[in-house]
Chain A
Amino acid sequence: ETGVTQSPTHLIKTRGQQVTLRCSSQSGHNTVSWYQQALGQGPQFIFQYYREEENGRGNFPPRFSGLQFPNYSSELNVNALELDDSALYLCASSLAGSNSPLHFGNGTRLTVT
């Protein structure tokens, strides 16, 4: 069973630039969600995708957008990067259903300078 994999592991960008982060879901999982984890804090929900459609969104501005592909892999795109976007971005996959836990990747560490 292949777990959740994310790329790249680290990234440095300049304020105002755009970034794309990638995630491959755990095999058999049909739902993917993205979280932002600032240093010393818990993960904050960005959005969730199911069947290639966004079906839940947290309190993040529209410059945070995403995609889910037919093979359930996913991308997170952030436009017009700000210094406060510096964080660990976690992708998690799961099966749709209220009792299904999240399975996380190791994250992408984004630094905006």
Chain B
Amino acid sequence: DQQVKQNSPSLSVQEGRISILNCDYTNSMFDYFLWYKKYPAEGPTFLISISSIKDKNEDGRFTVFLNKSAKHLSLHIVPSQPGDSAVYFCAARPEGTDKLIFGTGTRLQVFP
């Protein structure tokens, strides 16, 4: 039973346009949500996070939105660049723990 779901295995976007990656979760006891980026043959690297008490967090070209009532979060990348091509993982932290529950990932391809 996947507590964190990324239903789109892949996404293709033209350079300069917006990329929107989606994530759904089932557990109401998550208190932090994070996005990680992974290039081939490397480990995932932290990208951006949001606390469950907020609905938006922005860092440069990256913005994460959280809709608690829908148990949904999304990552917006504007404008998309070819270097953003990677696998993006959504993750959530159960309250009171240090562990992260990850989704299955979405492969983003940004083409010129």
A, B bound: no
